[in-house]
Amino acid sequence: MAELWFWLLALMLAVYAVLDGFDFGVGMLHFVVAKTQAERDTLLRSIGPVWDGNEVWLVAAGGTLFAAFPALYATAFSGFYLPLMIVLWLLFFRALGIELRHQLHSPLWRHAWDVAFSGASLLLAVFFGAALGNLVRGLPLDERGEFFEPLWTDFRVEEVTGILDWYTVLVGVTATVALALHGALWLSLKTDAELRDRAQVVVQRAWPALVVLTALTTVASAIVQPRLLGNVTRYPVGLVLPLLALGGLVGARAFAKRRPLPAFLSSSAFVLGLIGCAALAIFPNALPARVPGRELTLHAAAAATPTLSKMLVWWLPGMLVAAAYSYVIYTRLPRTFLTGEDPH
């Protein structure tokens, strides 16, 4: 049951990364793709009906983590206290940037909240990517199974690490470029005319950079976390995950110009594959350690087996409701958000 819940939790986080990931991408491109206030309004309308619903998957993943892996929840939230507070503030400012910009008819007011929305989206992509890098790299767990990381130390990957080092910064940059591409493909799908053309330019420029960064991150991950290659050998079915990421990366470029929906779905597959590869890298541990033997295993982190079994009774219908809600909202979106169109 612990292994089942590990992969269910990984799936929820991967779905969140796909859905809220293009919101982050749109935010990052807020001043790159849109040149006028009307165009920025159009970008926000393209995510307006879905961005808050997308965050349901993050909230649900947090609740699942608390119920299924209480020891993991306690250790991770205490050790990552500083970045979690930073992420919380960034989530606040991203939401406030979307909701408050229309409250006053002042160019300065709108511009300030547009900057908050765009900057928070960029930093969230960096921090979420760095967090993923921390998990893959391993944490400085002590003899008691506890840890606390400063924001950075000397940027080297040693026994004692900071949240930011050369590896986690690389993963953070890779995640940022990946979500920028993801957001650009969403805009190619949902906007028209000049906005769509500018989004296509971003796709053309971001894709080669993402290919290089993905290759570098793959090699670096194999170096800092040898378990990754061992798990691919130990669990051959795990090969599906890197193949999914590779296929998604190729498809995003192949379909980008003429078939925006398959291109966006390919980008989604790439994000899913990356999150899956990260989960495979640390399995069967809940928290890997820099010092071998100090890992927090899934079974040590998980709740009792009867509790995990009973959780499925409420988790399955809850997730079906969330998935149905997402399906209904996305299928009711306009095919294209037109620049200058009355949002009402």
Q: What is the pLDDT of residue 15?
A: 94
For residues 15 and 232, the model is more confident at 15
Question: Where do the domains of the chain lie?
Answer: 2-197+284-331
pLDDT value at 163 more than 90: no
278-322 per-position pLDDT tens digit? 999 888 888 888 888 888 999 999 999 899 999 999 899 989 998
What is the value of pTM for the model shown?
0.91
> What's the CA gap between 15 and 119, in Å, rounded?
23
Q: Quick one: how far is CA 261 from the chain centroid?
A: 20
**Could you tell me the CA-to-CA distances from 110 to 34, 89, 96, 113, 161 in Å, in that order?**
14, 19, 11, 5, 40
Percent of the chain with pLDDT over 70: 98
For residues 148 and 178, the model is more confident at 178
pLDDT value at 341 more than 70: no
For residues 185 and 81, the model is more confident at 185
Are 138 and 288 in contact by the 8 Å Cβ rule? The answer is yes
Q: What is the pLDDT of residue 14?
A: 94
pLDDT value at 340 more than 70: no
Q: For the chain, what is the mean pLDDT?
A: 89
**Could you tell me the CA-to-CA distances from 190 to 77, 123, 333 in Å, in that order?**
37, 24, 9
> What's the CA gap between 280 and 310, in Å, rounded?
26
3-class DSSP state of 139: strand
> What's the CA gap between 102 and 218, in Å, rounded?
43
102-151 per-position pLDDT tens digit? 888 888 999 999 999 999 999 999 999 999 999 998 888 888 888 887 77
24-56 per-position pLDDT tens digit? 999 999 999 998 888 899 999 999 888 888 988
Instruction: With cut-offs at 50, 70 and 90, classify the pLDDT of residue 189.
Output: very high
Instruction: With cut-offs at 50, 70 and 90, classify the pLDDT of residue 342.
Output: low
> What's the CA gap between 30 and 24, in Å, rounded?
10
- Mean pLDDT within 177-205: 93
Q: What is the pLDDT of residue 344?
A: 47
Are 88 and 317 in contact by the 8 Å Cβ rule? The answer is no
Q: What is the pLDDT of residue 343?
A: 52
